[in-house]
Structure 1
Amino acid sequence: MSNSLKVSPAGLIIVDKARQRRGWTKTSTACWWQDAHTSKATLRRFWQGERIQRDIFIAICQAVGISDWSEIADLSDIDLTPKSQLTTPFVDWDEAPNIEGFYGRNQELEQLEHWITDGCKLVTVVGIGGIGKTSLALALADRIQTKYNCLIWKSLSTSPDLLSLLEQILSSLNYPVIQDVTQGIKQLIKLLQQRCCLLILDGLEAVLSNKESASTYNYFIEMLSQSRHQSCILITSREKLSIINNNSQIFRCLTLQGLPKTDAVKLLQSQGFTGKELGLSALIKLYRGNPLAIKLIIPLIQSVFAGNVAAFLNQNALVIGDRLNTILQQQFEQLSDLERDIIYWLAIWQEPISFSRLQSHFLSSLDPAMILTVIAGLEKRSLLEKWVSENEYSFTLQPLVMKFVTDKLVENAVQEINQFVPSNEIGHFKVLRTHWLLRPGTDDIAGDRILLQLREQLWRTYGATLPQILNQILSLLSDKSPLAIGYIGCNIMAIFHHLHS
């Protein structure tokens, strides 16, 4: 008997029912392939009906609860007829991450599958960090992989230069060594023409942070999308591509939102909650259904609040896990000065603000077209939420972004005062000069929140000497021009107010 086995079509149905009974995904449930002492890539080949080692085939069956592996195996004679390079299935999942717990997204999966079936050459899934773009791409690939005879998953998280990426893809398929990017793109297009391929590029934002790399990759993607071929390129990214046109039948873009309540509750149940706890709906709304954010906050609720969601919510604290904080920090570092100015104002307002009102806060007059361009760029990066009321657009930050930017704003303000103390130079004030930290026109608790946070941090550092430092700052403003002072005086007086309140 052959030392390799493959599953029969009828066997696939049996296996599928077995894994559904256990609540497992086809390939992303780690315990399945780990219990079988194999790899996720081998498990994917099993689902594709490819031959795998006999002992691994049996182990996969036993892990999912099928004791009689022969009932699902295709025991027909092995076809030893050589197959051409073009018809032999090729699957490269090695760079696909191991992700457990995929919930919902049925509507999104159906939409993506419809676009691809309809002939889309380029499909992008965009959204804020942690929203589930990679998980969705994995689920989609599992769902449609049998329609392709070549599937390649490449992670761009290590920011590979384009030549290296092309070399990796082509060398795995025994294509000749390429000399440059132009030759590599031509060879890849030839591959996409010869085979029906699904090429997945996960995490495109990693190569868009560098202008030169971004230009090269944008050219690469545009060339692939404009060429005639029978394949599809699926891209996940935190940023929208400028070449995407949602009205086109060839290019499609799905902006991924948070999980709806029903699916978010299932996620919470998988982490030990019953789904009936008081406050679950408010928790999901607070984190906008972001799967990663919810997963990261669960251990804190369980360990500190003994699983009491309502007790956590009563703290009025939005907690960002380290992984999300790192993602947001990466995005923040890539922003221009004007982009940071705008998100700081949005953090100060903490609610949707119209373009005209936002524009009025800048110390110097700016070209409205420039501000609109920056707002469009922030929205493209999945950092903004857009609201429409009375035919006017308003903008605000997503809650997780709001929390991160608020902390960053306070951190920078503290740093500026720390720099002032030894130097006695008001030139160190940048954020405190350009932004009034009390929301203009308000004296409510929400408007004071940033100032309260700033006062607490300054008091921990300077204690009873803080009033003296603030007075010293005010004394240096008397002979300065209004433009040089900006909002410094307003901010210092507001901190004084909070010290005596």
Structure 2
Amino acid sequence: MNVSQLLQFVDRLVVERTGKHLDDVQRAVVEGTWQRQTYDDIAQKCHVTKNYVGDVGAELWQLLSEILGEDIKKSNFCSSLERVYIESSDNSNIYNINGSNNNFCPTQISNQLCPINKLKESEINTQSTSHYHDLTVAPQIINFYARESEVKTLYNSISNDNTRLISVLGLSGIGKTTLVKRFVDLNLQEFEVIIWTSLKFPKSLELLVNDLLNACKQEAKQTIDDKLKQLLDIFRDKKCLIILDDVHNIFIPGQFAGQYKSEYQDYQNLFAMIAETEHQSNVILISQEQCAEMECLDEELYPIKCLELSDLDDVAILKSTGLKDEDCWLKLINLYEGNPVYLKSIAILIKKIFDGEVAEFLAENSLIITKDMQYNFHQLFKRISPIEQQLVLELSKFEQPVSREYLRQSLDLSSMDLINGLQSLQQRYVVRKIKEDKILFKLSSVFQEYVKNCCLNLQP
């Protein structure tokens, strides 16, 4: 029994009893206990307090004790669950989860005494003969906040509408990858094939397709066209979910958003094929920039969808950070635009410099850009085009939104460059369009603070 089988097994037990899947901290407790980690080790990994992990563990052991009809605790969890797993996988027994006595019943009287709820290894192990799930490079999600509606949107788009191509978009750190992984964790059994791959270090389309075919136990044909047809046949025959993370890395830095590098231009063929051809599978693109296919295709005519993630405004983001002054948390969240990565970075700073006192930090009346934020913004500023840099530098001078007409007067840009530059900055989620009496544009406040302090002396 490996840790993946254990997590599936415990999750199944809990779902049968409560109707709810294990949450991220519960999963971490199960996995950590199996690996003989202390609560302190698990707490550090989850970025929560040791006491919180202990409370979650105690509640979980109590629940499992009720389900299994025996005393489960941290010290005997591994041995007890392994024994129960083996017994429940035995063809001579059927395990009674919903019954009142919570015991094992012999097969010959199971129809009379026990509900038919078999927990066989083939049902628990996602790597069964009919399913192939490769989540090797997918992140483990410990904390998940306030994106339930977006998870539901993903589910409806895929399961109900059979949307074949979905882009999940937003600024770095806003939670795109976390959202998609949460959806995958909750819907593992909905797909025969799940493959998660990252384009952080991009590969050619042919190598990517080779990897997908190999994962599906298909011998790749000679030409890329034949390989794409092979892949499409698999998409027709099986219910597949393919996740491509960090898609923006196949786009050219220093130019407007979403323009392909020459060596990755043929990715357009893959995305167009997925959107335009009939099949039963789904592909999710996770990116900081929109690809051209999604911009050009009409969602009313093609089964595609763009899911753009907005800021979070839930104080639960800060629950496990150890910060004080909870009544000030929402103000801190708004200051850093509800970006989980920004908030994690600033929470570390507040704990180290202000002993976790949020009110004292806010009394500084200054939007502090941490070293981690500076690094990320530096990479972003280098990535945008010279025209966008001009626009960003100009917009950073104003606390209030400004009009397109004002920008045209203050910058030596043609109408085409100005309009394309504003569109590109919106596609990168650093400029927002605001509708008042007329259309205005506003730079992201956190990015604006970085630009004001680090970039105003730069010449694009």
TM-score, length basis structure 1: 0.68
Structure 1 position 24, deviation (Å):
3.1
Structure 1 position 267, deviation (Å):
2.0
1:349 counterpart = 2:394: no
Distance 1:405 1:355 in 2: 20
Structure 1 position 69, deviation (Å):
3.0
Amino acid at match of 1:99: I
Q: Structure 1 residues 120-129 or 165-174, which shifts more?
A: 165-174
Structure 1 position 301, deviation (Å):
0.4
Partner of 2:33: 35
Structure 1 position 87, deviation (Å):
6.6
Amino acid at match of 1:62: F
Distance 1:296 1:65 in 2: 40
Q: Pick from 291, 299, 315: which aligns with 2:364?
A: 315
Structure 1 position 135, deviation (Å):
0.3
Distance 1:123 1:222 in 2: 12
Q: Pick from 219, 224, 234: which aligns with 2:284?
A: 234
Distance 2:456 2:303 in 1: 45
Partner of 1:153: 196
SS of the residue corresponding to residue 172 of structure 2 reads coil
Q: Pick from 127, 137, 141: which aligns with 1:95?
A: 137
Amino acid at match of 2:304: F
Amino acid at match of 1:100: I
Structure 1 position 206, deviation (Å):
1.5
Unmatched 5+ stretches in structure 2: 37-72, 93-119, 253-259
Q: Deviations over 1:444-487 (max 9, x none)?
A: xxxxxxxxxxxxxxxxxxxxxxxxxxxxxxxxxxxxxxxxxxxx
Partner of 1:216: 266
Structure 1 position 308, deviation (Å):
1.2
Q: Deviations over 1:305-343 (max 9, x none)?
A: 011112212223323344443433333222221111111
SS of the residue corresponding to residue 131 of structure 1 reads coil
Q: Deviations over 1:259-310 (max 9, x none)?
A: 12xx3x1121111236x53421211101111011101111110110011112
Partner of 1:358: 407
Partner of 1:383: 430
Partner of 2:112: none
SS of the residue corresponding to residue 109 of structure 1 reads helix
Change (3 A) 1:18 1:149: closer
Partner of 1:192: 235
Partner of 1:420: none
1:256 counterpart = 2:313: no
RMSD of the alignment, in Å? 3.4
Contact 2:11 2:21 in 1 (8 A): no
Structure 1 position 380, deviation (Å):
0.9
Q: Pick from 54, 69, 78: which aligns with 2:84?
A: 69
Distance 2:16 2:81 in 1: 9
Amino acid at match of 2:344: K
Q: Pick from 282, 285, 300: which aligns with 2:334?
A: 285
Amino acid at match of 1:104: A
Structure 1 position 16, deviation (Å):
6.7
1:340 counterpart = 2:355: no
Partner of 1:370: 417
Contact 2:377 2:447 in 1 (8 A): yes
Q: Which has the higher contact order (CA 8 A, sep 6+)?
A: 2
Q: Deviations over 1:191-246 (max 9, x none)?
A: 21121001111111112235214522233211221122110001111112232244
Partner of 2:378: 329
Amino acid at match of 2:278: R
Aligned length: 378
Contact 1:156 1:204 in 2 (8 A): yes
Distance 1:135 1:9 in 2: 20
SS of the residue corresponding to residue 292 of structure 2 reads coil
Contact 2:195 2:243 in 1 (8 A): yes
Contact 1:8 1:74 in 2 (8 A): no
Amino acid at match of 1:138: K
Change (3 A) 1:19 1:109: closer
Distance 2:443 2:87 in 1: 52
Structure 1 position 173, deviation (Å):
2.2
Distance 1:399 1:79 in 2: 52
Percentage identity across paired residues of the two chains: 25
Partner of 1:490: none
Partner of 2:106: none
Change (3 A) 1:323 1:250: farther
Aligned pairs for 1:295-310 (under 5 A) are: 295-310=344-359
Partner of 1:405: 451
Change (3 A) 1:10 1:300: closer
Change (3 A) 1:108 1:10: closer
Q: Deviations over 1:407-437 (max 9, x none)?
A: 342352xxxxxxxxxxxxxxxxx46xxxxxx
Contact 1:384 1:396 in 2 (8 A): yes
Amino acid at match of 2:194: L
SS of the residue corresponding to residue 387 of structure 1 reads strand
Q: Pick from 420, 439, 447: which aligns with 1:393?
A: 439
Contact 1:301 1:307 in 2 (8 A): yes
Distance 2:409 2:75 in 1: 64
Amino acid at match of 2:451: V
Amino acid at match of 2:447: V
Contact 2:24 2:141 in 1 (8 A): no
Change (3 A) 1:100 1:320: farther
Change (3 A) 1:402 1:69: farther
Distance 1:64 1:373 in 2: 62
Unmatched 5+ stretches in structure 1: 39-57, 413-429, 432-501
Contact 2:323 2:347 in 1 (8 A): no
Partner of 1:465: none
Contact 2:221 2:227 in 1 (8 A): yes
Structure 1 position 143, deviation (Å):
1.8
Partner of 1:141: 184
Partner of 1:427: none
Change (3 A) 1:277 1:319: same
Structure 1 position 74, deviation (Å):
4.2
TM-score, length basis structure 2: 0.73
Partner of 2:244: 201
Q: Structure 1 residues 133-142 or 313-322, which shifts more?
A: 313-322
Determine which structure has more spread, i.e. the larger CA radius of gyration: 1
Distance 1:353 1:316 in 2: 24
